[in-house]
Amino acid sequence: MPEPTTATGGLLAAIAGTGRDAVRGGYSRPVFSTAERDLVSWYEAELTARGLEPEIDRNGIVWAWWNPAGLPLEGAVVTGSHLDSVPGGGAFDGPLGLASALRALDLLRGRGVEPARPLGLAVFPEEEGSRFGVACLGSRLLTGAVTAERALNLTDPDGNTFADVARRAGLDPAGFGRDEEALARIGTFVELHVEQGRGLVDLDAPVAVASSILGHGRWRFSVHGQGNHAGTTLLDDRRDPLLAASRVVVAVREVAAANPGARATVGRLQPVPGGTNVIASRVDLWLDVRHPDDAVTAAVVAEISRRAVELAAGEGCTVQVREESLSPTVDFDPALARRLGATLGGVPALATGAGHDAGVLAAHVPTAMLFTRNPTGVSHSPEEFCTDDDAEAGSVALADVLADLLR
């Protein structure tokens, strides 16, 4: 890895070896894993080195406050992101926003900014939902968008409950749930994130302000058949759920293509028991659907579900469908977005198809996002990238908007 050329690049270089995935490539940093906890420790050490005192709240969110005037925390300006990743993800999705927050704080202090409001830095757990299936779980718990009961009973692929894993990480499951006090401290929230498409590449710009997030959700389809022996069971005697599931995957693409603007993906498929010489008894597949019109999202899922039942029956199988998470389309606070755009001299405004904690918080507090250019246009993949110069430009832009909001 080349030597970093900017301060933001240096912060990211310090964690470049944490959570590398030798099998998938990229990084695998599921929530409460050793890699993710190591990143939290790194971040807490960076905060401490800047004279801030990190604290972990009852929902597992890490907070720290720059408040030299000793002001009440209610109505503060907050910036932050996440440290967990998808399996085999890129180096910048999440950590870039937190490295930029640290760098922005350094820049604000270097400029001699005297904040008239406290500045909070926050790390939200399980943003990706890669371990427990519900994206933005930390911010959903904070706001009450998911109940504590449901969250605590979520299980990871190894059968561990969220409650058990959180307890082993030093958290008290009895404390999870909507936190009015923490919400009251957030007067304005700004999240910086690496762009997860190629909007800025095509515009030849390093930074943009977010305008909206596509409505999106996740559904689990369980296709039930009959487990049996691969060598002794004649083809005509099989009720093979993997064959049915494969037809459902094709139908997902067909239904999405018939609805302009829709995006539908099956990124994970799990046969049970999963033996090479075994006809599966059940196949679980996870569907991700997104569209700017929430009614279209619902219609796409309904049609895929209908097709799944039909296709499964053709193979002598049945299907159960369960919604795991659903987020409506988010339009970020327009006045705040205009203010950020004006502060930055009229940078582009971009919509995104990716979900973020900022999208969950937007229903409760004025919220905005900044995107930093990704020259590959690829994300959730080892090919995700951000140059040191663009990372620094994003940090400077974040410092500029925070300086304005802190007046």
Q: Do domains 8-214+329-406 and 219-327 have the same CATH topology?
A: no
pTM of the model: 0.94
How far apart (Å, rounded) are the C-alpha atoms in residues 369 and 79?
9
Q: Is residue 218 part of an annotated ligand binding site?
A: yes
pLDDT > 90? residue 221 = yes
The per-residue pLDDT for 289 is 98
pLDDT > 80? residue 114 = yes
Q: So where are the chain's domains? A: 8-214+329-406, 219-327
Q: Is residue 277 part of an annotated ligand binding site?
A: yes
pLDDT > 80? residue 2 = no
How far apart (Å, rounded) are the C-alpha atoms in residues 101 and 309?
47
Q: Is residue 224 part of an annotated ligand binding site?
A: no
pLDDT > 80? residue 355 = yes
pLDDT > 80? residue 1 = no
Mean pLDDT (whole number) for 367-388: 98
Total residue count of the chain as it appears in this document: 407
**With bands split at pLDDT 50, 70 and 90, how would you rate the model's confidence at 346?**
very high
Cβ neighbourhood burial of 249 (10 Å; 0-12, 13-18, 19+): middle
Q: Is residue 29 part of an annotated ligand binding site?
A: no
pLDDT > 70? residue 303 = yes
* DSSP E strand boundaries for 147-281: 186-194, 207-213, 215-224, 228-229, 263-272, 278-279
pLDDT > 90? residue 138 = yes
Q: Is residue 356 part of an annotated ligand binding site?
A: no
Of the CATH numbers 3.30.70.20, 3.40.50.880, 1.20.1440.230, 3.30.70.360, which one belongs to the domain with range 219-327? 3.30.70.360
Residue 402: name the closest of 115, 207, 124 by CA.
115
Distances (CA, A) of 380 to 88, 94, 195, 239: 7, 11, 11, 35
Which parts of 344-386 fold into alpha helices (H)?
Answer: 357-361
Tell me if 15 sits within 8 A of 42, measured CB to CB.
yes
CA 37 to chain CA mean position, Å:
17
**Number of Cβ within a 10 Å radius of residue 180:** 8
**With bands split at pLDDT 50, 70 and 90, how would you rate the model's confidence at 285?**
very high
Q: Is residue 93 part of an annotated ligand binding site?
A: yes
The per-residue pLDDT for 225 is 98
Mean per-residue pLDDT over the chain, rounded: 97
Distances (CA, A) of 15 to 80, 95, 156, 161: 17, 9, 25, 28
Mean pLDDT (whole number) for 283-303: 97
pLDDT for 172-220, tens place per residue?
999 999 999 999 999 999 999 999 999 999 999 999 999 999 999 999 9
The superfamily (CATH) of domain 8-214+329-406 is Zn peptidases (3.40.630.10)
pLDDT > 70? residue 127 = yes
How far apart (Å, rounded) are the C-alpha atoms in residues 311 and 271?
17
How far apart (Å, rounded) are the C-alpha atoms in residues 122 and 110?
21
pLDDT for 223-270, tens place per residue?
999 999 999 999 999 999 999 999 999 999 999 999 999 999 999 999
Mean pLDDT (whole number) for 77-85: 98
pLDDT > 90? residue 4 = yes
Q: Is the peptide bond before 273 cis (omega within 30 degrees of 0)?
A: yes
